[in-house]
C-alpha cells in the first residue's frame, strides 16, 4: 500500500493517490488528468475508484475526464445528486482497492453531501482519514456555503458539522493520519495550519473547533469572523455537479496563437478580457491598454476567481514565452474555460508591431516618502483587513483588493491617491483594474508595505496577527 499527497500550492489543495496490489484510487483530483494517467501507467496499476469528498466550490475537479479515460467509477457520499453517472455510497459503505478498504463516512456540515474516507489497511487497521473540507488542520470547513441549496442557516449547518465531527471523527484512534483537502491560504476555512497532514490525536489537542465545551460554543466559534465567500464558488459547484467541457478541448481552444493584428481584432469583436499574467514589474513598464494584470507568480487562480468572477467570460492571454499552456491549465482549475487565444510572441510582439502601449505610474517607497512629506495625501492600502490592523501607514484607508468592485465607484477620479499592498502583487492588480476603468490619477508603490517599512513614513504600532497571511 502507498499513499501519496499531491499538493497544489496556488489552490492550497490536496489530491490523494492510493495504490494497493495492482489497483488505485484517487481522491479529489485536479482538473488536468494527464499527470494521473501517466502515473498509473508508470506504476502499472488500474484506477478502480475516484472518490469525491463533496461538490467543490473553490476548484473544478477532474473526476469526469478521469472517469471517461479510465472507466473508473466516481463515488460520492450519501445525499449527493450529481447529474452524471456515479456511485452514491451509503454511510459506512466499504470499497476495496487491492488489499485495502475505504470506508465512507457521511459527514455533512460544510455541505450536505460532504463525506470523509477512512482507509483500512491490509491488516484491518484504520490508518488514514481523508477528511475533505470537513476537518482541516487547525480548523474545520466553513458552514455557510451550502445555505441556499440546503435551505438552512449557517448556524444549522454548523450544528450538523458538530455532529459529524464529534460523533464520526473524534471517536477514531489518535494515531490515524488526517489528510485534508486544503491547507493555509484556502478560502474554504479561516484558520488553517501551514502543515498538510497530521495525526488525529494532535488535532484533538490543538484544533480550536475540536475543543469546544458544547454544540452552542462550537457553532459560535466556527461561524465567528467568516468573510463572504468568493462569488465564483457557486459557479464551480455547478460545474462539479452538472458537468463541464473536457479539459483537452479547453486547452486546444485556449492555445490558439494570434498575431498582434489578429489579437487586436479578436479583442474588439469578442468582448474578451485581456488578461496579462506577467510579473507585475514587467507589466508596469509596458502593457496593452485595457489589459488586467494577475500574475502567475502569486495566488493566481483564486484571484482570477475573485476578480473576474464570471467563469463564462471570454479571455485573451498575454503571457511570457512558453507559459500559455500553464496559464490555460490554471484558469481551468477554477472553471475559467473560455480562453479563446493568446498573443503570439507576447507583449514584445505587440510592442514591435508599433501598436499603442500603456504604463502604470509605479514609484519607489523612497519617492513615496519624499512626495508625501508634510502634505495631506490619500493613501489606499489594498491588503486584507487583518494585515492592515496589524500595521499600516498612518492615515491610510483600507480597501481590500477582493472588494474592489464594490469600492472602486467611491473614488474621485480627479483626486490623486497612492496605492500599495504588501509587496506589489495585489496593488498592481488593483492598478490595472483602475486604469482599465478610466482611473489614472494615482501612484502605485513598488514593493508595497514591505519597502515602505524601510523608510521613515509614519506607521501605526505593530499588533501581532493571529492568522497566517499571504504576503503577496
Lowest mean pLDDT of 129-133, 176-180, 206-210, 459-463, name the range.
Answer: 459-463
- Output the nine-digit C-alpha cell for 273: 478580457
Nearest by Cα to 137 from 76, 186, 77: 186
Could you report the per-residue pLDDT of 131-168, keeping only the tens digit for each? 999 999 999 999 998 888 889 999 999 999 999 999 99
CA dihedral 341, 342, 344, 345 (to 10 degrees): 180
Chain centroid to CA 1: 30
pLDDT at 472 over 60: no
pTM reported for the whole predicted model? 0.91
Nearest C-alpha neighbor of 108 from the set 151, 168, 57, 170: 168
Q: Which residues, listed in sequence order, are joined to residue 18 by a DSSP beta bridge?
A: 3, 25
User: In the chain, what percentage of residues exceed pLDDT 70?
Assistant: 98
Question: Looking at the predicted structure, is the pLDDT value of residue 57 above 90?
Answer: yes
Confidence band for 464, pLDDT divided at 50, 70 and 90: low
The answer to whether 298 and 289 are in contact (CB under 8 A) is no
For residue 213, pLDDT beyond 90: yes
Cα–Cα–Cα angle for 23, 35, 131, rounded to 5 degrees: 65
**Rounded CA separation 44/254 (Å):** 32
User: Is the pLDDT higher at 15 or at 309?
Assistant: 15
What would the pLDDT profile of 440-463 be if each residue is shown by its tens digit?
999 999 999 999 999 999 999 887
Assign residue 424 a region (left: φ > 0; alpha: ψ between -120 and 50; beta: otherwise).
left
**pLDDT one-digit tens code per residue, 338-389:** 999 999 999 999 999 999 999 999 999 999 999 999 999 999 999 999 899 9
Task: Say which DSSP state 123 is in.
Answer: T
Amino acid at each position: 500500500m502507498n499513499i501519496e499527497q499531491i499538493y497544489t500550492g496556488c489552490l492550497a489543495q490536496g489530491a490523494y493517490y492510493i495504490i494497493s496490489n495492482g489497483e488505485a484510487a484517487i481522491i479529489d483530483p485536479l482538473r488536468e488528468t494527464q499527470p494521473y494517467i501517466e502515473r498509473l501507467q508508470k506504476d502499472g496499476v488500474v484506477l478502480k475508484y475516484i472518490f469525491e469528498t463533496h461538490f467543490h466550490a473553490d476548484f473544478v475537479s477532474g473526476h469526469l475526464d478521469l472517469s471517461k479515460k479510465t472507466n473508473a467509477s466516481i463515488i460520492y457520499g450519501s445525499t449527493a445528486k450529481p447529474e452524471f453517472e456515479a456511485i452514491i455510497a451509503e454511510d459506512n459503505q466499504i470499497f476495496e482497492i487491492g488489499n485495502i478498504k475505504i470506508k465512507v463516512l457521511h459527514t455533512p456540515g460544510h455541505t450536505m453531501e460532504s463525506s470523509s474516507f477512512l482507509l483500512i489497511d491490509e491488516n484491518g487497521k484504520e490508518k488514514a482519514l481523508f477528511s475533505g473540507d470537513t476537518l482541516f488542520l487547525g480548523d474545520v470547513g466553513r458552514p455557510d456555503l451550502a445555505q441556499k441549496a440546503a435551505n438552512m442557516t449557517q448556524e444549522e449547518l454548523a450544528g450538523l458539522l458538530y455532529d459529524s465531527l464529534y460523533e464520526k471523527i473524534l471517536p477514531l484512534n489518535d494515531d490515524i493520519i488526517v489528510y485534508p483537502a486544503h491547507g493555509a491560504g484556502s478560502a474554504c476555512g479561516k484558520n488553517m495550519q501551514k502543515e498538510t497532514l497530521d495525526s488525529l490525536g494532535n488535532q484533538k489537542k490543538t484544533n480550536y473547533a475540536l475543543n469546544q465545551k458544547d454544540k452552542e460554543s462550537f457553532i459560535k466559534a466556527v461561524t465567528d469572523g467568516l468573510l463572504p465567500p468568493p462569488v465564483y464558488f457557486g459557479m464551480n459547484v455547478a460545474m462539479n455537479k452538472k458537468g463541464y467541457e473536457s479539459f483537452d478541448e479547453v486547452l486546444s481552444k485556449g492555445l490558439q496563437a494570434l498575431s498582434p493584428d489578429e489579437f487586436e481584432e479578436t479583442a474588439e469583436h469578442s468582448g474578451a478580457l485581456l488578461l496579462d499574467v506577467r510579473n507585475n514589474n514587467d507589466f508596469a513598464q509596458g502593457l496593452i491598454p485595457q489589459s488586467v494584470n494577475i500574475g502567475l507568480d502569486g495566488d493566481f487562480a483564486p484571484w482570477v476567481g475573485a476578480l473576474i468572477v464570471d467563469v463564462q467570460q471570454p479571455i485573451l492571454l498575454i503571457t511570457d514565452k512558453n507559459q500559455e499552456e500553464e496559464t490555460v491549465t490554471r484558469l481551468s482549475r477554477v472553471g475559467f474555460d473560455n480562453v479563446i487565444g493568446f498573443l503570439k510572441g507576447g507583449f514584445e510582439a505587440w510592442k514591435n508591431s508599433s501598436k499603442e502601449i500603456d504604463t502604470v505610474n509605479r514609484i519607489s517607497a523612497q519617492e513615496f516618502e519624499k512626495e508625501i512629506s508634510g502634505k495631506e495625501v490619500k493613501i489606499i492600502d489594498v491588503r486584507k483587513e487583518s494585515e492592515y490592523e496589524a500595521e499600516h501607514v498612518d492615515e491610510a484607508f483600507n480597501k481590500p483588493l477582493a472588494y474592489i468592485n464594490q469600492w472602486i465607484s467611491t473614488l474621485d477620479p480627479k483626486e490623486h491617491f497612492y496605492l500599495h499592498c504588501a509587496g506589489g502583487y495585489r496593488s498592481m492588480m488593483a492598478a490595472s483594474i483602475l486604469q482599465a476603468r478610466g482611473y489614472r490619477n494615482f501612484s502605485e508603490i513598488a514593493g508595497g508595505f514591505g519597502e515602505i517599512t524601510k523608510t521613515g513614513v509614519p506607521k501605526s504600532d505593530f499588533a501581532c496577527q493571529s492568522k497566517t497571511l499571504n504576503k503577496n
